[in-house]
Each structure stands twice: as C-alpha cells, then as structure tokens.
C-alpha cells in the first residue's frame, strides 16, 4: 500500500542540519524519515497530553499564590 506524501520546504539552523545529515548517514535513513518520525512523535505526545488534560478537567485547581503560600507555610521556600 502506497502512502501519499506532500513536499514542503523546511529551514533548519545550520548546526541542526549538520547533525541531521550525520544521523541520516549513520542510520541509513533519509532526512525526511528522521523529520517525519520526530514530528509524529511530538504530535503523539501532544495527543497524550490532551487526553490527560481532558481526564483531569474536573479536578480542583489552586492558584499560584495559594500554592506559594502553602510551600512557605510548610518550610519548602
């Protein structure tokens, strides 16, 4: 089964591009494969985070001020 691909231009910092080229050569994988894998991993992590946020949506919240006061009261700061 063939996967549809789209072509785009991405600009990398020169030192990052150098490292990607080295990793590409070491792993015998194209830059496109490396970038696709990295982006896919990041998006999966975002999806996991959103699911966690959804599950915790009804938990009580505490203000930063209250949290800091509690830390001070407990001798943590």
- Each residue of 46-63: pLDDT tens digit? 999 999 999 999 999 999
pLDDT at position 2: 75
> Per residue in 17-28, pLDDT tens?
999 999 999 999
Helix (H, G, I), strand (E, B) or coil at 66: helix
| Contact (CB, 8 A) for 30 and 24 | yes
Confidence of residue 3 (pLDDT cuts 50, 70, 90): confident
The number of CA neighbours under 13 Å toward the Cβ of 26 is: 7
The number of CA neighbours under 13 Å toward the Cβ of 39 is: 7
């Amino acid at each position: 089964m063939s996967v549809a691909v789209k072509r785009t231009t991405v600009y990398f910092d020169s030192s990052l591009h150098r490292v990607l080229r080295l990793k590409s050569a070491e792993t015998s994988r194209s830059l496109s494969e490396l970038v696709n894998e990295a982006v896919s991993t990041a998006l999966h992590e975002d999806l996991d985070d959103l699911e966690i946020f959804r599950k915790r949506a009804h938990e009580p919240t505490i203000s930063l001020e209250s949290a800091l006061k509690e830390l001070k009261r407990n001798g943590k700061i």
